[in-house]
Chains A and B, each alone.
Chain A
Amino acid sequence: MSKKKTKVKLELNRRDFLIVGGTAAGSVVAAQLLTTGPLSPFASFKQAQVEGGEETSTQNARHHWGMVINLDKCIGCEYCQRACSATNDVRVDETGEDQDQGNNRPEKPWNIVVQDRTSTGTPFFFSRPCLHCGDAPCVEVCPVQATYHREDGLVIMNYDRCIGCRYCEIACPYDARKFNWQARTDVNPFIPTWGIAEVERRPRGVVEKCTFCIHRIDAGLKTGLMPGEDREATPACVNICPVGARIFGDLNDPDSKVSIAIATEATIRLREELGTEPSVYYVIPKEGL
């Protein structure tokens, strides 16, 4: 049987080429106009965000907020965890009700406090807010920039943009993120004993995390207060600590309490080998780790 050898050929004459090229170019222009350009239905949306951010951005760039947690001083009272959960209205599972229902989903707080032990066997207490990494894996993986770096070093969530894919939860090396699996109807047991809710509850289906009480920082700076020095501008967990194990301040300012603590004490950062550059430093116990 003789086979006719046929070849698939791309037959494009000049007219076709112009039509195809023109369509492609037109599509690119149209896409540009519709997504980021003036024709975009989201243009006003984005513009508002840019304008809102501009006011504080020059001011923000001067600071880099950080925290020092003294593992030697911490007594494990969990006050920071409770004040955080009250101030930020974090869903907590005090009763263990969720686990009773056979639902293997403990509601972890933003700020955990746990018992730990050094390699020599000395017990100490370890607590962990969000570390606000300088090179944050969660920021890198978010497909929509719902979590992003602010110029003052804070890693922030935009709850209006988050699609709830939970990739940031998977990428975070410190387990610092929490997803809203259901709509919130719970009564927060820490309010009002440990503080009042200063921020809105997050809607169902978005990821949330510690903000270093950003609402206090921003409001404080506007009225001339210095976060870390003035209580009104300082995160709730730092204010409530009865033994002063947590200090907060500007890492860019060499005279701030945090900078002095880092300069004078032996500090570590968590999983430093990953290169995430956390903004939270730990003063290690006197006996070493």
Chain B
Amino acid sequence: MATRLLNGRKLFYLSPALLAWIGLLGLCIIIGLVSAYQVFKNGLYITNMSDSVPWGLWITIDLSSIALGAGAFTLSAVVYLFGLKRFQSIIRLAVFVGFIGYTIALLTLIMDIGRPDRFWHPWVYWNIHSVLWEITWCITIYLAIMLVEFAPVIAEARFFNRYPWIRKATKYLHRLAPLLALLGLGISLLHQSSLGATYGIVKSRPIWFKPSMPIMFILSAVAVGPSMTMAIAYVAEWVTGKKNIPTDVLRTIARFSGFAIMIYGYIRFWDLAAVTYYGRTPSVSESFNLLSQQTPYNFSFWVFEIILGVVLPAVLFLTPRFNRNPGYLVIGAIFAVIGVVINRWNVTVGGLFVPLSYSPGTLYQLEPGKYFPGLPEWGIAIGIIGYGLSMLTLGIRYLPLFSKEEHA
């Protein structure tokens, strides 16, 4: 029977806490499904996006989930390319988290495009000059790479006892791990920075049009992605009560994240100085004036992006007083994640708030773009978070994510 004891633990035993957790996740997913049905039925009309702000919360989710999935390629490169083998124990979790992040991005994109039935067009009709085309391809390829990297873990599940040849095949695939890590590194560096370029190349909007955009996107992804994996490892440890990944590994990852966040913070300040002070143009100054006068842009930049997203995580990850305590590390990771999400939101919605100015006269001005996500948009966001957490829960419970076994 399925409920028989396995390794001294019932496979399908549900504690009240777990039951409540599953109920919560189920509720989130139901909210998401209802919202998705509404959106598919009525179109994007029921969202709060408009012709002046055509991108909103969903694009923020795409950008954030891909950035937070960056732990997969970073840690794979660390283990398989730089040969730091003691991080091997977290690779599986990192790839799994990355996989969840990328599928979240794809699911949200499906909701966001006006014609979900044509989602396959970028693969057939190529516009090699489009960054968005390049991103679509990179995400697809990288998702495939992660699937191949992750195949041996899935094949270890009990279900595959019946099919030893599959297990053998995936073990064979695993010998390609260094090659996959190299491919993943290249592809990730490409699309993580291209996500920034999506905004950086738009010359019609002064506060986006700058070469630092791709740099800041990739740096923040590399800095915060691994700390997200680290935090999930700790939370999994607390929930399951099993110490799977050595503390020193997690602490080293946190310290790496701390240093990387400091580098990101430095670039962020350099960029701030460049666009508002020594490299400013009248249109950029005007845009920032408008943003700071009419939106809480300044507040959210300083409080969420800088203090919460850069300063606090750097302190918590780097000072010995805090980084010996897993609690502080997890809090630091949560802060850093909030910082990244708010950053992506500020870039997208802030840039679209500033109206275009193209009239040759002095009177005609477009209205600033007003946007706050509507109910269906929040519904999709809740559903998508529910999906991510469900995958994580299932993975931690049923997949050998922390197996000590060595396959290489």
Interface residues of A (CB under 8 A from B): 6-12, 16, 20, 35, 40, 42, 71, 104-106, 108, 114-119, 123-124, 126, 128, 137, 140-146, 161-167, 169-175, 177-183, 204-207, 268, 270-271, 274-275, 282, 284, 289
Once the chains bind, are B114 and A284 in contact (CB under 8 Å)? no
Q: What is the distance, in angstroms, from A56's C-beta to the closest C-beta of chain B?
A: 21
| Beta-carbon contact of A145 and B126 below 8 Å | yes
Provide a sorted-by-A list of 23 A–B residue pairs whose CB atoms are within 8 angstroms: A20-B176, A20-B179, A35-B124, A40-B124, A42-B124, A105-B50, A116-B362, A118-B361, A118-B362, A124-B361, A137-B202, A137-B203, A140-B129, A142-B132, A144-B126, A166-B114, A167-B132, A178-B51, A181-B43, A182-B42, A206-B115, A268-B360, A271-B358
Q: How many residues of B contact A (CB 8 A)?
A: 57
Contact digits for B108-123, partner A, Cβ 8 Å, 1 yes 0 no? 0000111100110111
Residue contact A6 to B130, C-beta cutoff 8 Å? no
Q: Bound complex: CA of A42 vs CA of B79, how far in Å?
A: 42
When distances are taken between beta carbons in the complex, the residues of chain A under 8 Å from B175 are: 10-12, 16
Q: Are B203 and A116 in contact (CB under 8 A)?
A: no
Query: A289 near B360 (CB under 8 angstroms)?
Result: yes
Interface string of B130-153 (1 = CB under 8 A from A): 111100100000000000000000
Is B54 a contact partner of A179 (Cβ separation < 8 A)?
yes
Nearest A residue to B119 via CB reads A163
Interface residues of B, dominant DSSP: loop
Query: Of B125, B132, B202, B352, which one neighbours A161 at CB under 8 angstroms?
Result: B125
Q: Which residues of B contact A (CB under 8 A)?
A: 42-45, 48-52, 54-55, 79-80, 83, 85, 112-115, 118-119, 121-127, 129-133, 136, 175-179, 198, 201-205, 352, 356, 358-364, 366, 370, 408
- Would B79 and A145 count as touching, CB distance under 8 A? no
The smallest beta-carbon distance between A206 and chain B, in angstroms, is 6
Contacts of B42 in A (CB 8 A): 182
Cα-based distance from A175 to B52 in the complex (angstroms): 8
Cβ distance A110 to chain B, nearest Cβ, rounded Å: 12
A170 touches B54 (CB 8 A): yes
* Chain A minimum-CB-distance residue to B135: A143
B201 to chain A, nearest CB (A): 8
CB-CB < 8 A to B203: which residues of A?
Answer: 137, 173, 274-275
Within the assembled complex, what's the spacing in Å between the Cα atoms of A145 and B129? 10
CB <8 Å contact, B202 and A171: yes
- Which residues of A have CB within 8 Å of B127? 142-145
A104-B48, A115-B363, A206-B115 known; A8 vs B358 contact (CB < 8 Å): no
